[in-house]
């Protein structure tokens, strides 16, 4: 079994649960309260700011220019908003930098990003990539499932952009690059090292599940 197959197998139940989250179901069938979605977009802004820092620590931990370039490209892309579906929503909802600056990061969100940053500071390239991969790939899996259940979901006037953003060739192609790099870096990993990756991936997957609950319950 490849490393990524192993990580996905270990977290099968958590990942299956994503599709049942009320927030995710509401995104897919278009019934999600816009106020909840607006709050989620603001929280996700703060999430992405810290997520970018995880890549920056990845740059510092890189042992080859190939890995360094991979991490660095993401930093630029996220900050430029290129792969950030949220930019359009920020404009639509009239979310200003001032409002962002005055909205504190919610507790579940802070826990998640603090954990990823601690993994990044403590671990090496592969540990950083494992923390990153859970989040990047779960959005693709969720968006694909939404489209499988509702082929018209990408046309929804409000949530269609979210769905479309994570099934683009660009987004899914980047996930393939992350996956291949993770396989390459862990080809010689021992059982103990792989078990640690499993622990990181499981924790991040649970944090993703909590993020959906936080958004649904509008937890602060
Ligand atoms: C809580 C949370 N988890 C995952 C993503 C997905 N995601 C993380 S970074 C990024 C841009 C480049 O990969 C995307 C789409 C998110 N936005 N928010």
Q: What is the pLDDT of residues 140-196, one digit of tens each?
A: 999 999 999 999 999 999 999 999 999 999 999 999 999 999 999 999 999 999 999
Rounded Cα–Cα distance for residues 155 and 119 (Å): 38
**From CA 28, how far away is CA 7, in angstroms rounded?**
26
**Does the structure show a pLDDT above 60 at 41?**
yes
Scanning the chain, the segments in alpha helix (DSSP H) are 3-10, 12-18, 22-29, 34-61, 65-80, 86-92, 97-101, 107-122, 125-149, 160-165, 169-185, 191-217
Please indicate whether residue 99 is annotated as part of the active site: no
* pLDDT computed for residue 83 by the predictor: 53
135 a catalytic residue: yes
**Dist. CA 48 → ligand 1 center (Å):** 7
d(CA 62, CA 177): 16
Q: Model pTM?
A: 0.96
Measured from the CB, is residue 163 less than 6 Å from ligand 1? no
Atom of ligand 1 nearest to the CA of 109: 1
Residues 89 and 106: their CA atoms lie apart, in Å, by: 20
**Residue 133 confidence (pLDDT) above 60:** yes
User: What pLDDT is recorded for position 87?
Assistant: 74
Atom 13 (ligand 1) nearest CA: 136
Ligand 1 closest atom vs CA 171: 13
Find, among 190, 129, 147, the residue nearest to 4 by Cα.
Answer: 129
Query: In order of start, what are the domains of the chain with their CATH numbers?
Result: 3-217 (1.20.910.10)
């Amino acid at each position: 079994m490849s490393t990524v197959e192993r990580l996905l197998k270990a977290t099968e139940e958590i990942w299956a649960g994503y599709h049942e989250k009320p927030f995710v179901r509401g995104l897919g069938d278009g019934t999600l309260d816009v106020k909840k979605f607006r709050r989620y977009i603001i929280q996700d802004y703060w999430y992405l700011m810290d997520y970018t820092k995880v890549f920056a620590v990845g740059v510092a931990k890189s042992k080859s220019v190939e890995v360094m370039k991979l991490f660095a490209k993401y930093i630029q892309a996220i900050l430029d908003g290129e792969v950030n579906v949220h930019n359009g929503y920020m404009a639509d909802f009239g979310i200003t930098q001032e409002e962002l600056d005055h909205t504190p990061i919610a507790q579940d969100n802070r826990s998640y990003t603090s954990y990823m940053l601690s993994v990044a500071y403590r671990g090496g390239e592969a540990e950083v990539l494992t923390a990153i991969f859970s989040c990047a790939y779960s959005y693709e899996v969720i968006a694909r499932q939404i489209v499988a259940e509702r082929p018209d979901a990408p046309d929804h006037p409000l949530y269609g952009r979210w769905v479309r953003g994570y099934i683009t060739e660009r987004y899914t192609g980047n996930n393939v690059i992350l996956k291949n790099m993770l396989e390459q870096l862990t080809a010689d990993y021992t059982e103990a090292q792989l078990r640690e990756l499993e622990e990181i991936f499981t924790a991040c997957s649970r944090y993703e599940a909590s993020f959906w609950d936080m958004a649904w319950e509008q937890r602060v």
